[in-house]
Each structure stands twice: as C-alpha cells, then as structure tokens.
Structure 1
C-alpha cells in the first residue's frame, strides 16, 4: 500500500490523462474527470466509474446536459499498489477503461483487449 495525499494523487491522474493518445481524449465531449477517495459503498475494489450516457446510447444530446463524469477513486488505487510506478500503470488502465465506457465499449470487450 502507498501513502499519498489527495493533491499528489490528483497530479498523477492529470499526468496520466495528459499521456493518453490525442485521438482517445479529443472525442470526450461534455465529460469531467473527478478524483474521489472511495466509492459510495466504501469498498476498495472499484478503481473508477463512468457516470454518464455512452456515445452509442445517445440519441438527441447536447445543450443543457450535465457533463458525464469519469471518477477515479484514490484509496482503492493506493491500497492495491506497492510503488508509484505500479500506481501510475493502474491509474492509466483505469482512465482507459472508463474512457472506453464513454465510447460504448463494455467490460467484456475491455477484458478481450486487456484493459479490464
């Protein structure tokens, strides 16, 4: 387990987000990234969550819609990782996984691709 305050963890999330390919992040329309300590149920086994409506499920979408959210949970990441390199890898995987949900890619396909 790693000890890291919320501000340092958030900086790592931003760094990993900046490292993602442009074509992956340029299509993110009306999406915000949020760091929270834990999921609502307090568990340590969920690293992230896409809270929104996937592109493949949207009909008429646009003006006035609240932004979708991609939530990265700090404490589960810290609990699961032994060092900062492992933490960065896990944050990267979480971001790709949740962004994939925005694009309509489900968990089964993510498992096939090695991102789940």
Structure 2
C-alpha cells in the first residue's frame, strides 16, 4: 500500500481522535510523532519512548515529553487496504498508550492489543 507522509500523519491524527476519552485524558506530557521507520532498522509499528506513568515517581516541570512514535513504512508494508491500515494504526496507538500506563507486552497480547 502507498500513502504520502502527510496523508499518513493525518490518518494517525484521525485515529487518535477516535480513541475513548478515558484512554487519552490521562496522558500527561506525551507527544505523538510519525516517522518513516526506526533508525535501528527494526520492523516496528510503533514505540513508546518514555517513563511509564506507574514508574514516574517524582515527575514535574521541565521534563521532556514522552513520545509515542508511529512508523509509516511498516504499516504500509503490512496493510493491503485503507480499512486494514486504520485498524492497524488504531491497534498501534492503543498498544503504545498501554505502555504509557505501564501495561507490558504480555498483558497487551492477552487483551488483544499486540
């Protein structure tokens, strides 16, 4: 599947807007970023780069924001239709937001978000 970087970023924004308020209201000091692919060459859909809310301890002003990165090329390589792409982006967002809340990969698999 092919899609421009701008169109993919808009799709990610649209999918983020569709997530339940209960899921996104607790996100504190987190930015969402779209990149083509990981620098290390791994085949990832996304990554949470930060300190989980459950591990923050003393966390306050002046902290750099955590990042949730969604990788465009891996999504496009794995999806055949626009609906598949939307579903996969949705799953990636929920998965990485789950890491923000301290949910590990094993539990995310159990919940069907991995």
Question: Same fold per TM (> 0.5)?
Answer: yes
Which residue number corresponds to residue 94 of structure 2?
Answer: 96
Whole-angstrom distance in 2 between the partners of 1:111 and 1:78: 22
Residues 1:65 and 2:76 aligned together: no
In the alignment, structure 2 segments of 5+ residues that lack a partner are none
Residues 1:20 and 2:16 aligned together: no
Whole-angstrom distance in 2 between the partners of 1:13 and 1:58: 27
SS of 2:41's partner is coil
SS of 2:17's partner is helix
Q: How does 1:1-116 map to 2 (within 5 A)?
A: 2-43=1-42, 45-116=43-114
Output the TM-score relative to the length of structure 2: 0.98
CA offsets 1:5-50 (integer angstroms, 9 cap, x no match): 000000000000000000100000000000000011223x200000
Q: How many residues align?
A: 114
Moved over 3 A (4+): none
In the alignment, structure 1 segments of 5+ residues that lack a partner are none
Whole-angstrom distance in 1 between the partners of 2:94 and 2:39: 22
SS of 2:54's partner is helix
